[in-house]
Chains A and B, each alone.
Chain A
Amino acid sequence: MSIGISVEHIGADPHGDRGGPAQPLLTVKKLVKHFDLKKSFLETLNGGGKVVRAVDGVDFKVLKGETLGVVGESGCGKSTTARLLMHLIEPSAGEIVFNGETVGSPALPLREYRRQVQMVFQDSYSSLNPRLTIQDSIAFGPQVHGVPKREALTRARDLLARVGLEPSRFAERYPHELSGGQRQRVNIARALASEPRLVILDEAVSALDKSVEAQVLNLLMDLKDEFGLTYIFISHDLHVVRYISDRVMVMYLGKVAETGPAEALFERPLHPYTRALLSSMPSMDPDHRTEEAPLAGDPPNPIDPPPGCRFHTRCPHAEAVCAQQVPSLESENGREAACLIHEPGSGHSDARAAIYAA
């Protein structure tokens, strides 16, 4: 047995799971990240500075063994959320609970959490150290966690084979000698080397050619089954997200707009933003056109987000109340939407009707 994880996965409780399969693997509560803007001279004198509200109070769950797709326009906070989940940047507020334990608590120190959660980045080249052979890059993580070098290298070669790269040809190559697709396979192998349970894929296939993208997606799905992984799949490509995800979360300006099972969400979006986003998606089926107007313009500046519902400046259904009241994430039948239309008694003129319609 060369890869330690494989056999244990078959057992009833392979990871020391707590709370059984129904308990979420990851629960994110009120996650906030505000970046300080570089203060200008005058603001320094005044002692104040502005902040970019990149992630502004995000709640979601990731269930064991599922793939959660995360979509949204660029700048909506999806990549910041990924980096927060990895603790690459410190959250300004909020809590991350992994497998029943708060991350950073004595029961789950950051170091152990980081072994169990790994990330694959978008830029396949910049995410590999150009001066290390790819087997050294893959073996680095396990060595950090105390695996002896020889063993780590063996594991690296096995993983290379598993992601479809012949170890005898690739193990001692340098990243610049590989194609983009091959490098992304290496990055996947690197993420898997420390035997994680959750892998965050941040635009992991976005930079690849379409044909290569499909191969890598299929590889990801195979690996997920084989190693019992859970994925958070971040992408701007709605087709890909629909293809790979079990559930989807839509983000807008640092907040969650809507979450729900992938098929339901794509078939019948609840939030006007989701509808607008989906309408920008070239449809394969002429019978499935949405009447929603596609999104115009750029999202508002996250330094100074609009009050109330953040989408009201671009929303075709916006009413006066939308600029005053912040919608809460209402859940029903496994679906959630942060829109006053779906909030009974919110004061929006469509509120009642929508509830009955749903």
Chain B
Amino acid sequence: MSTAITAPAAVAANTPYERSAGFWTGVLRKLARDPVAIGAAIVLLLLVAMALFAPLLTPHDPYQASMLKRLKPIGFENYLLGTDELGRDMLSRLMVGARLSLFMGITPVLIAFVIGSGIGILAGYAGGLVNTLIMRTIDVLYAFPSVLLAIALSGALGAGIGNALLSLTIVFIPPIARVAESVTTQVRSRDYVEAARASGAEAFTIVRVHVLGNVLGPIFVYSTSLIAVSMILASGLSFLGLGVKPPEPEWGLMLNTLRTAIYTQPWVAALPGLMIFITSISFNLLSDSLRSAMDVKN
């Protein structure tokens, strides 16, 4: 009897195992076949590269003002995209502006992903009273439209990068926690979690081995769909003067200070908004593609 058992194992030890592709490999493969996803990813990579290497790429000093060269049109002398209301080079400012704009758009979602997942998974796995307490509190924050909540919080906290990040993080925790809670509640009732409980494993071990791997994917995809919103909101806060303070270049703030110039240099004035638009649409398209790539039905 025991020989019958050991024999295949001995064979197995010498032959390489047929390793099959993991879930994420499959998702990446599907994404690689999706032209929209590739386009959006390339745009985003270029934007990130531009942000990272901005100091090396800028043709002019983004802070260098010039009273004589205020509000020059696109293509003026060697100012490829014109100059702003203080005569600073638009191209350089847009490049450097990518740093703060991307940072302020992505960071709140990242932090909210960590905190919101934690809260939602705890509520979903614990169930019962813990779930009720957590989710009813979340419901209160969810009762505010996101723009209003962001503006209320940063309006009360006052202007500044830190306060804007904090406000936006608080805005994104409730929706992420809701999704995390509902996915976890679903996974918790699956038989493999029951089987793991039946094997006598501790709750923490079950969450680590059997729950996380199955819930983080959907929560992550949902969170990526929030980055576009976050980009628009973060720049919107700066646009209202609640986020980044001058003279730091940030697209929303630039859009605000150039508002007075829409009659004199309309196309220059619209440029920072175009950057926000391009970024947010790329994030939206990539997130949509990611969602359909992860959909098992396709």
**A residues near B, CB below 8 A?**
1-3, 6-7, 83, 86-88, 110-112, 114-115, 117-119, 121, 123, 126-132, 137, 140-141, 144-145, 154, 157-158, 161-162, 166-174, 177, 187, 190, 194, 226
Whether B17 and A127, one on each chain, are in contact in the complex, defined by CB atoms closer than 8 angstroms, is no
* Contact for A131 among B7, B17, B214, CB less than 8 A: B214
Q: Is B192 an interface residue (CB 8 A)?
A: yes
Q: How far is the CA of A61 from the CA of B143 in the complex (A)?
A: 55
Q: In the assembled complex, how far is the CB of residue B50 from the closest CB belonging to chain A, in whole angstroms?
A: 36
- The answer to whether B17 and A172 have CB atoms under 8 Å apart is yes
Q: Are A174 and B6 in contact (CB under 8 A)?
A: no
Top 3 A-B pairs, shortest CB-CB distance: A161-B8, A127-B191, A114-B200
Q: Which of B5, B190, B198, B213 has the most CB of A within 10 A?
A: B198
User: For A110, what are the chain B residues with a Cβ–Cβ distance below 8 Å?
Assistant: 200
Bound-state CA distance A118–B7 (Å) is 26
Are B205 and A144 neighbours in the complex by a CB distance under 8 Å? yes
Query: In the complex where A88-B198, A173-B20 touch, is A130 in contact with B214 (Cβ < 8 A)?
Result: yes
Over the window 167-197 of chain B, the binary record of Cβ atoms lying under 8 Å from chain A Cβ atoms (1 yes, 0 no) is 0000000000000000000000011101111
B297 at interface, CB cutoff 8 A: no
* Distance from A175 Cβ to chain B, minimum over Cβ atoms (Å): 9
Q: Knowing A3-B2, A144-B205, A161-B8 are in contact, say whether A86-B20 is a contact too (CB < 8 A).
A: no
Contact check: which of B2, B190, B191 meets A1 at CB < 8 Å? B2
Give chain A residues whose Cβ lies under 8 Å from the Cβ of B77: none
Indicate which residue in A83, A118, A127 contacts B199 across the interface (CB closer than 8 Å).
A118
For residue B1, give the distance in angstroms from its CB to the closest CB of chain A: 6
Determine if B75 is an interface residue (Cβ-Cβ < 8 Å): no
What A residues does B18 contact at CB under 8 A?
168-170, 172-173
Q: List 29 A-B contacts (CB under 8 A).
A: A2-B9, A6-B1, A86-B194, A87-B198, A111-B200, A114-B200, A115-B199, A126-B191, A127-B195, A128-B192, A129-B214, A130-B23, A131-B23, A131-B214, A132-B209, A132-B210, A140-B209, A141-B201, A144-B196, A145-B199, A154-B9, A158-B6, A161-B12, A162-B5, A168-B17, A171-B17, A172-B18, A172-B19, A173-B20
Q: Are B20 and A118 in contact (CB under 8 A)?
A: no
| Range class of the B interface residue count | 20 to 34
Per the 8 Å Cβ criterion, residues 1-28 of B in contact with A are 1-2, 4-9, 11-12, 15-20, 22-23
**What residues of chain B have their CB less than 8 Å away from a CB belonging to chain A?**
1-2, 4-9, 11-12, 15-20, 22-23, 190-192, 194-201, 205, 209-210, 213-214
Cβ-defined contact, B1 with A167, below 8 A = no
Which A residues are CB-close (under 8 A) to B199?
114-115, 118, 140-141, 144-145, 194
B298 to chain A, nearest CB (A): 14
A2→B17 contact, CB < 8 A: no
Q: Hey, which chain A residues are within 8 Å of B2, CB to CB? A: 1-3, 6-7
Q: Give complex CA distance A132, B195 in Å.
A: 14
* Shortest Cβ distance from residue B151 to the other chain A in the assembled complex, whole angstroms: 36
Select one of A123, A172, A173, A194 contacting B191, CB under 8 A: A123
- Smallest CB–CB gap between B184 and chain A, Å? 14
Beyond A129-B192, A137-B192, A174-B20, whether A115 also contacts B6 by CB under 8 A is no
Cα–Cα distance between A172 and B18 once the two chains are bound (Å):
6
Task: Select B15's contact among A1, A141, A168, beta carbons within 8 Å.
Answer: A168
Please measure, in the bound complex, the distance between the C-alpha atom of A86 and the C-alpha atom of B192, giving whole angstroms: 14
B214: chain A residues within 8 A (beta carbon) = 129-131
B9 and A126 contact, CB distance less than 8 A: no
| Beyond known contacts A114-B200, A158-B8, A162-B5: 7 more, CB 8 A cutoff | A87-B198, A117-B198, A132-B210, A145-B199, A161-B5, A161-B7, A194-B199
Among B15, B23, B191, which residue has the most Cβ atoms of chain A within 10 A?
Answer: B191
Q: A331 → chain B, closest Cβ, in Å?
A: 31
**Contact A129 B213, beta carbon cutoff 8 Å:** yes
Of B12, B16, B191, B213, the contact of A132 (CB 8 Å cutoff): B213
Known: A132-B209, A171-B12. A86 touches B198 (CB 8 A): yes
| Docked CA distance A88–B16 (Å) | 38
